[in-house]
Structure 1
Amino acid sequence: MNFLWFEDFLVLAETGNFSRAAEERHVTQPAFSRRIRALEDWLGTELLDRTSQPARLTEVGEWFRGVSEELMVRVASIPGEARSVAEAHSTTLRLAATHALSFTFLPRWLRTLETRTSLGPVQLMSDVLRQCEALMHQSKVQFVLSHTHPMTKGALEVDGYPSTIVGSDVLVPVSAANQRGDAMYSLDGPRADPVPFLQYSTDSGIGRITRAVVGDRLAHMKTNVVFTAHLASVLRTMALDGRGVAWLPRTLIEEDLASKRLVQATADSNWRVPAQIRLFRSHGAIGKAAEDFWNAALSVAAE
């Protein structure tokens, strides 16, 4: 017996045509017919009346159609159930975080959580937000840490994943300093030339936020996109090199601002974008170690 036979039978029951069913299953018609006949031999009875066109299910075939549908649903659920069993006994936390938070916020935050619970091994996957969201959808991680903003909802928020705010940040428009210590490129006042702009790609969560909050305002200014990248850390390097203005998380550039290697590109506070740092968790059971981690995060966030 082969599980492929059940899938073959369901396609044939739907189409009633051996040629079309064989095409959908990407096999030749003779090979497909042999697989259906092998299934009937295994059951010891015929499932189809081949004298009619299209082929019709016998009474046993109608019964077996329901059995096959139930069986395929059950088979499809087995990998997820196996992962759930493994989750229940796993002490390893699987966490995805955007690059900017992996470098800055995450280490300090984990130290705070360790005062509330004993953390086991942590497996960190650091990537752009879109990939972090995909890892959660594929059940490859239990948690995702990212920047969020009320004006734009990411895939995890849209899909109703439980979450809690665990910190805050500000996206600051910055530029390298000139010899006088002022911004090399300023968003203030009249300007003859367009402001060179360092832009995030569409995969970036920070880019998603900046476009939602200041995108319209930027569209009415003279700007010139000179560089595009996924990562805030890359745009930071380009800003330090004097290439243009970038909106960067304050958590990433605190030392740069203190040393005046980077300076704010405007005195207008409306250009600064407050952001939340939010922890998302997987739906359903995630195991005791992960639940303890989640409860510690909730406890710290409530303070």
Structure 2
Amino acid sequence: MRLEWIEDILAVADTGSLIRAAERRNLSQSAFSRRIRMIEDQLGTELFDRTRKPVELHPAAFEQYQEMRELALRLRRLAAALGDDSHARTHVVIASQHAITTAIAPAFVQRIAASHDIGIRLRSGNRDECYMQLLTRHSDIMLFYTTSRQPLTIEPGFVELHSIGFDSLIPVFAASCLAGLEADIARGELPVVTYPDEVFFGRVLRDDIRSRIAGVTLRPKAETALTLAALQLAATGTAVAWVPEALARAQIVSGQLADLTPRWGAQSLQLMAARLRAAHSSVAEEVWRAIVSPKRS
């Protein structure tokens, strides 16, 4: 159990309201509700009876109320005795979408490591998972993609955003297998790698890209939530995959992959950095400045 989790639970138990608890914890109600749900998912049980007003702890959780309060107090005292880890620690946790972790984040880490004595811990996930890591303070900074039709729904009063660049979601395919692809297209079919609809790139493919493709029927050959897997499926000639250009650039330059953007178009992606509007450790502040203002870091 993290101290933040215990304090979230106690805030609801003490106020009897998710709204007032969110105010106490300096979060919007929607962000705080998601955090409580995440805590319950992690523990594998519901903690509160939300049908009651005021909201009450379930009996099993209520039995641990005093223990949680005492544990929170002990953890605060321990943090103080150790000099407050939020100021003493020398590492920063960055949560980023899988494709960013592979293709873009290493350059950030290299630049930061070259001029700062700071350790970086990269945590990879889909966009929603990364956002939840940020909200629950499992990460200091989040790196993610967004589009005009697929924005990340955030709590603007509690999350700070900064645009740090652009990328494109492009269609690629094995250069050595283009003749077979042309034969499929001549039959009116386009073999594609798809993403699950519940992940960011799945929604982009469904809402932003498919409507632009005319004259052929899309024939899904494989589905994956990982852009790196989609890239490999395209490289082996299995199907056309839409992947971030940054991820595919090296294989396009080497001639292994063909960029099919002139034929099927691309989707612009905005690269964003986010952090909570809260007090940050000195090292987290250094890394944030290095990411959003690299020329002045």
Give yes or no for TM over 0.5.
yes
Residue 243 of structure 1 aligns to a residue whose secondary structure is coil
**1:152 maps onto 2:182 in alignment:** no
Residue 185 of structure 1 aligns to a residue whose secondary structure is helix
**Which of 269, 273, 277 does residue 271 from structure 2 map onto?**
277
- Structure 1 residues 220, 142: CA separation in 2 closer, same or farther (over 3 Å shift)? farther
Q: Which residue does 1:66 correspond to in 2? A: none
Q: Which residue does 2:94 correspond to in 1? A: 95
Q: Which structure 2 residues correspond to residues 109-120 of structure 1 after superposition, within 5 A?
A: 109-114=108-113, 117-120=115-118
**Which of 181, 185, 203 does residue 185 from structure 1 map onto?**
181
Say whether the 8 Å CA contact 2:171–2:261 is kept in structure 1. yes
Q: Which residue does 1:197 correspond to in 2? A: 192
Q: Which residue does 1:25 correspond to in 2? A: 59
- Structure 1 residues 208, 160: CA separation in 2 closer, same or farther (over 3 Å shift)? farther
Deviations 1:38-73 (A, max 9, x none): xxxxxxxxxxxxxxxxxxxxxxxxxxxxxxxxx99x
Residue 277 of structure 2 aligns to a residue whose secondary structure is coil
Inter-partner Cα distance in structure 2 for 1:214 and 1:302: 37
Q: Which residue does 2:211 correspond to in 1? A: 216
Shift of the alpha carbon at 1:218?
4.3
Identity of aligned residues (%): 20
Query: Which residue identity is paired with 1:246?
Result: A
Query: Which residue identity is paired with 2:274?
Result: F
Say whether the 8 Å CA contact 2:112–2:118 is kept in structure 1. no
**Which of 246, 260, 264 does residue 255 from structure 2 map onto?**
260
**1:175 maps onto 2:173 in alignment:** yes
Q: Which structure 2 residues correspond to residues 77-92 of structure 1 after superposition, within 5 A?
A: 82=76, 85-92=84-91
Deviations 1:244-269 (A, max 9, x none): 1111111111121112221123524x
Say whether the 8 Å CA contact 1:88–1:285 is kept in structure 2. no
**Which of 271, 286, 290 does residue 280 from structure 2 map onto?**
286
- Structure 1 residues 123, 266: CA separation in 2 closer, same or farther (over 3 Å shift)? closer
Q: Which residue does 2:243 correspond to in 1? A: 248
Inter-partner Cα distance in structure 2 for 1:113 and 1:246: 32
**1:122 maps onto 2:120 in alignment:** yes
Q: Which residue does 1:108 correspond to in 2? A: 107
Shift of the alpha carbon at 1:154?
1.8
Q: Which structure 2 residues correspond to residues 221-240 of structure 1 after superposition, within 5 A?
A: 221-240=216-235
Query: Which residue identity is paired with 1:195?
Result: L
Q: Which residue does 1:297 correspond to in 2? A: 291
- Structure 1 residues 122, 238: CA separation in 2 closer, same or farther (over 3 Å shift)? same
Q: Please identify runs of 4+ aligned residues in structure 1 that moved more than 6 A.
A: none
What is the TM-score when the length of structure 2 is the normalising length? 0.67
**Which of 179, 197, 206 does residue 201 from structure 2 map onto?**
206
Query: Which residue identity is paired with 2:151?
Result: K
Q: Which range moved further: 92-101 or 229-238?
A: 92-101
Query: Which residue identity is paired with 2:282?
Result: K
Q: Which structure 2 residues correspond to residues 68-79 of structure 1 after superposition, within 5 A?
A: 75=69
Inter-partner Cα distance in structure 1 for 2:183 and 2:153: 32
Inter-partner Cα distance in structure 1 for 2:242 and 2:183: 12
Larger radius of gyration: 1
Inter-partner Cα distance in structure 1 for 2:141 and 2:183: 37
